[in-house]
Amino acid sequence: MRVYGFLSVLMTLLLGSSNGQTPRQQNNTGFRCTGTRRCEAYAYYTASSPDFLDLASIGDLFEVSRLMISSPSNISNPSTALVPKQPLLVPLTCSCNRVNATFGSLSYANISYNIKPNDTFFVVSTFKFNNLTTYPSVEVVNPTLVATNLSIGQTTIFPVFCKCPNTTNFNYFISYVVQPSDNVSSIASTFGSDQQSIIDVNGDTLHDYDTIFVPVTRLPALSQAAGASPTAPGPTAENRTVSSGDDRTGTVRGLGIGLGVVGLLLILVSVLWVYREVVMKEKLGPGVVRDDEEEQRKVYFGGKEEKVDVKLMANVSDCLDKYRVFGVEELVEATDGFDQSCLVQGSVYRGEIDGEVFAIKKMKWNAYEELKILQKVNHGNLVKLEGFCIDPEEANCYLVYEYVENGSLYSWLHEDKNEKLNWKKRLRVAIDIANGLQYIHEHTRPRVVHKDIKSSNILLDSNMRAKIANFGLAKSGMNAITMHIVGTQGYIAPEYLADGVVSTKMDVFSFGVVLLELISGKEAIDEEGNLLWASAIKTFEVDNEPEKSSRLKEWLDKNFLRETFSTESLMGVLNVAIACLHRDPSKRPSIMDIVYALSKSEDMGFDISDEGIGSPRVVAR
């Protein structure tokens, strides 16, 4: 294998960079880039003994929290110990950094590291960062440090290699260090990527311990079976070079057709949009201030045609690539012509296409925002978009989602069902929602605020695991002010109602209301219009713990009375809920604190009631 590696290096040197593919790391000093783009990327990192067998130390190394590693890595409890070689996905903020005249700009995540005894650039890059960077590149980005004369505690930048996708075909590049047992096909299958894309990005020869970038549209689901071996044992070295160019013509033809379709859609969409804008403008009249983004869009779509093309092209082609495009007839047939019998709720219909069941949401042309957001998110606790359909004749747009069998949390809590959810299931649901929220609040760039978290937008699958649905009101970007209040009475955060302040903390507030519903079985707003959250705050405004506990017993869902469960767990969740409802958004816990606190409550032995949820102590790190 070593000989082979050497030979292939030699071949590359002799033949030049084969096929004109992207060059590998130049002289080990990193990957060149142009521009100033930043993006979210991930590094595939494996735990190793003795220092990196827990998420806290790995998080410290990469300057991220434990939860930021555990959630993309399919690890439910961030405090579990890891086994050597356990695979992890570590988030990186990847950027293109100007280095100097010789090296130009290099693409890496800028990680600060304080030198410890016995560290050298080589040791830290090779055994701590597991070859995700190299010592020559550490030297390049730290021009003032002398590698042979490091002092303990010295802050050093370790440039962890990463790359931003330059096409919209992929959402992330995962930095991966090639292992001797790998070949392109084993890597493709580990990450759910395809061989040709990996070759396109990295060239067609892999070198042991080089960092490559695996292009993916969604993060792979890592299997975390205890003691799992992270990389499939690969076949022999002989087939490590994969011939490229086998299916080029097909790709080109596909691209041609794709572009044709994009062109058509583009025209349709532009026409629809202009139409919609005209109608809206008439409806609203002059002087009505609308959402800032909406405003922007008006500019884009109203006059400047070239801008429209570029923006739309990017958006729609992105969707075409990832989603199935359904025909109107297909959807009409699937739903018996959108018959009442297929109606699930609101404008969502159940439809069966080729034996597969989907939820089909019929909307006027306002699906754009939801489409734009959904294409950026992908998480087990968010309802997945499968495809869409545009019907130019009726000016309708349809979004086609995965069908979630068990309906809404609202129906389970407030409608007559033979079966009631027990406390354990409810707590699980709460954690699922929190995980979904954590993903949109912390792992999407820009962040997404759902804006309409409520029990009827939470769906339960066949295992009673929860998924957040309905991103129709969601907004990306933070701390915007909007004049166009949307949302649902009983769940809306007071600051949003008063000033239109949009932030992730408004979702935290609404989540607090859902927690109250889970605990009490009461609706967010009753027939007389009394708000559940207001009554909860009044009820639990006592410092005296025994009194609080007895009021909780009064207040909780009577369906629990027959169950045995720990009051601490219940009290813990109530405290989380009350903390979420704080009037001052900045005093509400972050979703990360919430995930952590709820996980602790799930572990019934713990009592978090007297620690204070919003205190910095529960920030997971």
Residues between 38 and 77 with contacts to ligand NAG, criterion CB under 6 A: 74
From residue 244, alpha-carbon distances to 188, 205, 240, 351, 401 in Å are: 15, 10, 12, 41, 35
Q: How far is the CB of 285 from ligand NAG (least distance, A)?
A: 43
With 0-12 CB in 10 A as exposed, 13-18 as middle and 19+ as buried, what is 112? exposed
Report the alpha-carbon distance of residue 108 to residue 99 in Å, rounded. Answer: 11
Among 104, 114, 122, 127, binds ligand NAG (CB under 6 A): 127
Segment contacting ligand NAG by CB under 6 A, of 126-134, 278-286, 326-334, 419-427: 126-134
Q: What are phi and psi of 454, to 5 degrees?
A: -160, 165
Token representation of residue 316: 């729609």
The distance of Cα 596 from the centroid of its chain, to the nearest Å, equals 18
Least distance to ligand NAG, CB of residue 177, Å: 7
> Rounded to an integer, what distance in angstroms lies between the CA atom of residue 78 and that of residue 81?
8
Catalytic: which of 432, 452, 507, 593? 452
- Among 222-230, 382-390, 568-576, 602-610, which window interacts with ligand NAG (CB under 6 A)? 222-230
What does the DSSP assignment read for 3-58?
HHHHHHHHHHHHH-SGGGPPP-SGGGS--B--S--EEEEEEEEE-BTTTBSBHHHH
Asked if 223 touches ligand NAG (CB under 6 A), the answer is yes
Q: Which is nearer to ligand NAG, 102 or 149 (CB)?
A: 149
CA distance 281 to 302: 11
CA distance 9 to 475: 49
Q: Closest CB to ligand NAG among 221 and 485?
A: 221
For ligand NAG, the binding residue among 10, 123, 221, 299 (CB under 6 A) is 221
Q: In the complex, what is the shortest distance from the CB of residue 115 to ligand NAG, in angstroms, rounded to a whole number?
A: 11
- Please report how close the Cβ of residue 182 comes to ligand NAG at its closest, in angstroms: 12
Backbone angles phi, psi at 362, to 5 degrees: -100, 125
The rounded distance, in Å, linking the Cα atoms of 434 and 552 is 23
Q: Does 8 bind ligand NAG (CB under 6 A)?
A: no
Does residue 34 interact with ligand NAG by CB under 6 A?
Answer: no
Q: Closest distance between ligand NAG and the C-beta of residue 194, in Å?
A: 16
Considering only the stretches 104-112, 217-225, 240-248, 260-268, report the one whose residues sit in contact with ligand NAG under the rule CB under 6 A: 217-225
Kindly state whether residue 224 participates in binding ligand NAG, applying the rule CB under 6 A: yes
Between CA 312 and CA 290 the distance in angstroms is: 21
Q: Which of 29, 86, 95, 130 binds ligand NAG (CB under 6 A)?
A: 130
- Choosing from 151, 243, 249, 340, the residue that interacts with ligand NAG (CB under 6 A) is 151
Burial class (CB in 10 A: 0-12, 13-18, 19+), 55: buried
Q: Does 463 bind ligand NAG (CB under 6 A)?
A: no
Contact with ligand NAG (CB under 6 A): which of 22, 93, 315, 411? 22
The window from 223-231, 306-314, 334-342, 510-518 that contacts ligand NAG (CB under 6 A) reads 223-231
CA distances (Å), origin 151, targets 148, 214, 320: 10, 36, 54
Q: Does 559 bind ligand NAG (CB under 6 A)?
A: no
Q: Nearest distance from residue 567's CB to ligand NAG, in Å?
A: 30
Q: Which residue has the tokens 């729609």?
A: 316
The DSSP letter of residue 241 is S
Nearer residue to ligand NAG within complex by CB, 22 or 566 = 22
Shortest approach of ligand NAG to residue 379 CB, angstroms?
11
Note whether 500 and 308 are within 8 A (CB): no
Closest CA to 162 of 175, 172, 176: 175
> Known catalytic residue: 499?
no
130 or 504, CB closer to ligand NAG? 130
Pick the closer one to ligand NAG by CB: 46 or 590.
46
CA distance 93 to 23: 22
Q: Does 167 help bind ligand NAG (rule: CB under 6 A)?
A: yes
Q: Which of 57, 120, 166, 241 binds ligand NAG (CB under 6 A)?
A: 166
> Which residue sits closest to ligand NAG, CB atoms considered?
221
Q: Does 565 bind ligand NAG (CB under 6 A)?
A: no
Q: Which is nearer to ligand NAG, 127 or 275 (CB)?
A: 127
Q: Does 149 bind ligand NAG (CB under 6 A)?
A: yes
CB of 110 to ligand NAG, least distance (A): 21
DSSP per residue, 45-64: EE-BTTTBSBHHHHHHHHT-
Alpha-carbon distance 621 to 618, whole Å? Answer: 9
| CB closer to ligand NAG, 210 vs 507 | 210
**What is the β-pairing status of strands 356-364 and 396-402?**
antiparallel
- Using alpha carbons only, give the angle 264, 270, 273 rounded to the nearest 5 degrees: 140
Residues 138 and 158 sit within 8 Å (Cβ to Cβ): yes
Query: Total binding residues for ligand NAG by CB under 6 A?
Result: 16
Q: Which is nearer to ligand NAG, 149 or 340 (CB)?
A: 149
Other Cβ atoms less than 10 A from the Cβ of 187: the count is: 24
Q: What is the binding site for ligand NAG (CB under 6 A)? A: 22, 74, 126-127, 130-131, 146, 149, 151, 166-167, 209, 221, 223-225
Residues assigned a catalytic role: 452
